[in-house]
Amino acid sequence: MKTNQVEYKSPSKVIFEKFARHKDVSLVYGEPIELANKKVLPVAKALYAVGGGGGYSGESEKSQGEGGGGYIAIKPVGVYEITSEKVMFKPVIEFRWVALLASVCTFGVICLLKNRNLK
């Protein structure tokens, strides 16, 4: 007797299989872009974490439970400019770090000026 059973595919397994197919440098290096006499190769930083779990009830083979979750972040880091003479990396400068540095320096100068005026 043949039964019509549908194969159950775990959600966690689908996620792990997807990352297993792309575990090479294609996650961080983009396709080269040709401009005039140079190539530009984008570079990113990829961070991912996944987890999951599952189980079966002892009462019946049909009882089961699974759960999973994950985090994916892709952040641009910079580009490689490739010409016939040289290869140069140009990083992406994040505005928030520049603003933080400027704020800290301004605060330091204000503190120094206040201490100078108190003497």
Tell me if the pTM is above 0.85.
Answer: no
Query: What tens-digit pLDDT sequence spans the chain (119 residues)?
Result: 455 555 656 666 666 676 666 655 666 777 888 988 899 988 888 777 777 777 766 666 676 777 777 787 888 888 899 999 999 999 888 788 889 999 999 999 998 888 877 66
R_g over Cα of the chain: 27
Among candidate residues 11, 19, 17, 13, the one with its CA nearest the CA of residue 49: 19
Please give the single-letter amino acid code of residue 11.
P
Domain ranges for the chain:
11-92
Scanning the structure block, which residue is given the tokens 């704020």?
103
